[in-house]
Structure formats: structure tokens, C-alpha cells
Structure 1
Amino acid sequence: MGVKRRLLLVSNSTLHGGGYLEHCREQILKFFGQYKIPMDSAPRQVKRVLFIPYALHDRDAYAETARTKFESLGGGNTFRLLKALYDNRLILEIRKRVLQDGIPYMGSSAGTNVATISISTTNDMPIVYPPSLEALALIPFNINPHYLDPDVNSKHMGETREVRIFQYHEEPDTPPVLALREGSMLLVEDNKSTLLGVTGARLFMRGAAPTEYEPGTDLSFLLSTS
């Protein structure tokens, strides 16, 4: 039996000009509408969502924001989120529930980062120290949310996102990095993956030039990356 997974991995929780998760409201409603789990013939409708607010310090306020809006999994600081998942011994449990039991998983920003192999390509500061950078590994590659293209007119002298990902790929045995611009998201259904949203994405592979992809592109080949 193949891997049974249903993931919605969103680049950002808030898009300029809109409210919390407003830009992906339709995708969220569709994602949580009906789903099937292994050994179950009839589709189910999600009635409850487990929200994990570990990415922000004020967990109660963060949970209330999600509850009053769309009740989805969200952003915040990736290091804080991953450390709390390890502290509460949830890494293996979430992985089992998603990959074996077929429970839908949605994340945005930090929640998207921790769904990947590691948080090595997050944009966040390491404000806390998780026991490992290895994450949930629900997909066999990394994601860089909130991706910003290099600005040729900028006078900023620091590294761009592009340069930092190139630096990551200078290390051996590093997986592909899918850079999701704000407004983009990745839908994973079993062994099929589709880029959604209103902006495109860039795929970085070690030793190769980045590749551009537009919304609607089938990216299923990334799920067989090893």
C-alpha cells in the first residue's frame, strides 16, 4: 500500500490587503470538506480541527485567532514550533496520524516548514533550540515559505533568499527546496502534488539552476525525490 497523506502547505498566513488566512479561504474549505482514510469506503467531513499554537509565545491568543477565523494550522516561529513538538513528544504521533491513518494536515509558514524533512531552510531566527532540525518529514523535500525574489535595484548588502538556498545546497546530500512565494500553496494528495494559489514557486535542486513553476503545475515528481 502506498503512502496515504493529504496535506495543504501554505506559504503565508496573511497576504497583503487581506486578513488571517483570507487569501486561501476557498482552498481551506475544500481541503477540509471531504476526505477518505485507508480502509474506509465512505468519505468523511472534518468536524474538528486540532490546532497546534506552539509557534507563538501567547498560545491562547493564537488559538483564539485561528478559532474565530478558519481553524487552521498556522505560522509563527519555526524553531519554537519544532521544539515544542519535540518537548511534547508529538513528532512520531503526528507522522503516524498523517501518513498511516490518513488524517489531513494543514500548515502555513512555520506549520509548512515543520511538515518537511528539516527546518534548515526556514527564514526564522533560532530563538530557541530544538533537539534536532529534523522535522515531521511528511514530504521528502524542504520548503522555503515567504520566498522573495532578488531585487536588482536593492542596496541591501545581506544575502538574498536565493543565495541562502544556494549556500544550503553547498552541503552534501541536501534535498530539493521548493520556494513558495506569498500567495502560493502546495496540495499533496497521496502521491500527487499540485501547486495552487495566485503566485508561482521556484524549485532549487542541488547543482542545478532554479526552475520556475506556475499555479496549477503538477509537482508530483518531488514526492519520489530521495
Structure 2
Amino acid sequence: MKLLLISNSTNAGEPYLKYPLPEIRRFLDGVRSVAFVPYAAVTFSYDEYRRRVQERFDELGIRVDSVHGLADPAAAIREAEAVCVGGGNTFALLKAMQRLGLVGAIRDRVAQGIPYVGWSAGSNVTCPTICTTNDMPIVEPESFEAVGLVPFQINPHYLDANPQGHAGETREQRLLEYIEANPGRYAVGLREGCMLRYTDGGLQLIGDRPLRIFRKGIAPYEVNAGDDLSFLL
């Protein structure tokens, strides 16, 4: 499989998808078009989402073909050179993917070797479930079960901060709850500006910030770019 799983689309003060573009360029080398899954968009249209992504992918010379509005979106996935799944609301994304048969179509097509690029919610859905998303459940999918391209859970946009005056749970506390309820699975906090790349059977962290590792019975700890991540697989 070939996966590029990005924490966030945009760093503060930068244009949309600008910071990950060099890595996307390397990852999609030789690809002429991608099938884009826009269903995480909620407050703006799928057409607008495709336009935003196409504007950035124009710099790569890659055409963005959104699957929305097609009679058979799953067929478009099965014929695609590569798949991109955008961020937004993970519950809305998964509900649409389940309804349209995209979960199995993406799983099968990526297993055949085509590249997959996801950011935020698009990274969440590559996990066994979406249980470590940050999003509110604004709609109800058939289940929390996702595509399962990786055997661990990702928490994109992972934050260490606990704002002054905030008495609620931190992100770490939420993930500790997850591993308490799911003791056999790793969860990882993927900080902004970072991504995970899976190619040639190996997993690599890309970015200047460490990846935070959670598993029941082990104190949370961090790994850096260049460290061995094979234990997650």
C-alpha cells in the first residue's frame, strides 16, 4: 500500500494545502489525475471543495476529479489512478462513504497499489474506526468502522495545550480514555504540520514535531522523524 496521511490541511497564515504540497508532489509522482472524496465538507459545497483542491493541485499538473454527483462514485474509485480524501467532519464523511459503497472500494483499490492521500478526516478514515476523531457527531453513520488501511488509530491536530481557565479534558486525557476502552490498539497523536507516509511496507513520520504514542499499560511517549515505527504495524 501507499499512504500519505496528513494531520492538517493548512498551517496558520499559509495558503490551503501549501505546506504538505512538496510531499504530495513526491508521493504522487507520475499521477495525472486523482479521484477526490469531498464528503467531509459541511459548511461549503462539494463543488467549492473540489475547486480549492484543484487550485493547489494545478501546481502539480494533476487533475482533481471529484466523485460527488456521479451515478456510481464507487466505480470512479475502482478506476482511479490515486485517491484523495479531504478533511472536514469525519462523521459526515464516513456516513457518505458507507452509503455510497466507498469504504470497500477504497480498501480494495488501495490494496491493489494506488496511492492514497488524506488529510484530517481523510486520515481518520484510514484507521480501523473513527473513534479518535476530534469532530462532533453531527450525523450518525452506520457504524464507527472505517476503511482500516492501518491497524492503529490517528488523532489528527493533536494538541498538548490546556488553555488557561479551561477545566475540561485535555486531548491526552481523551486518548487515555480510548486506550482504556480499547486495550489492544495503539493510538497516535499526530501534531499539526506533520504526516505519516506508508510505502514499501514501512511507516515514516514526516515533520518537525514528534508523534505521541498511546497504548494501555504504557506511559504515553514520543517518537521523532527517523525513529522506527514498525511496532505500529
> Which category of TM-score, normalised to the shorter sequence, fits these structures?
0.7 to 0.9
For 2:87 and 2:8, locate their aligned partners in 1 and report how far apart those are by CA, in whole Å.
7
Letter in 2 for 1:208: I
Indicate the residue corresponding to 1:212 in structure 2: 222
| Pairing 1:1-226 to 2, within 5 Å after superposition | 5-33=1-29, 45-57=30-42, 58-70=45-57, 72-99=84-111, 101-151=112-162, 154-223=164-233
Which has the higher mean CA deviation after the structures are superposed, 134-143 or 201-210?
201-210
Q: Give, in angstroms, the shift of residue 20 of structure 1.
A: 1.1
Identical-residue share of aligned pairs (%): 49
Write the deviation string for residues 45-70 of structure 1: whole angstroms up to 9, x where unpaired.
21111110000131111111011112
Q: Superposition RMSD on alpha carbons, in Å?
A: 1.3
Ranges of 4+ aligned residues in structure 1 off by more than 3 Å: none
Q: Secondary structure at the match of 2:225?
A: coil
Which has the higher mean CA deviation after the structures are superposed, 170-179 or 102-111?
170-179
Q: Secondary structure at the match of 2:47?
A: helix
Aligned residues: 206
Structure with the larger strand share? 2
Q: Give, in angstroms, the shift of residue 150 of structure 1.
A: 3.6
Q: Secondary structure at the match of 2:108?
A: helix
Letter in 2 for 1:66: V
Q: Which runs of 5+ in 1 are unaligned?
A: 34-44
Q: Secondary structure at the match of 1:115?
A: coil
Letter in 2 for 1:8: L
Q: Secondary structure at the match of 2:37?
A: coil
TM-score by length of 1: 0.87
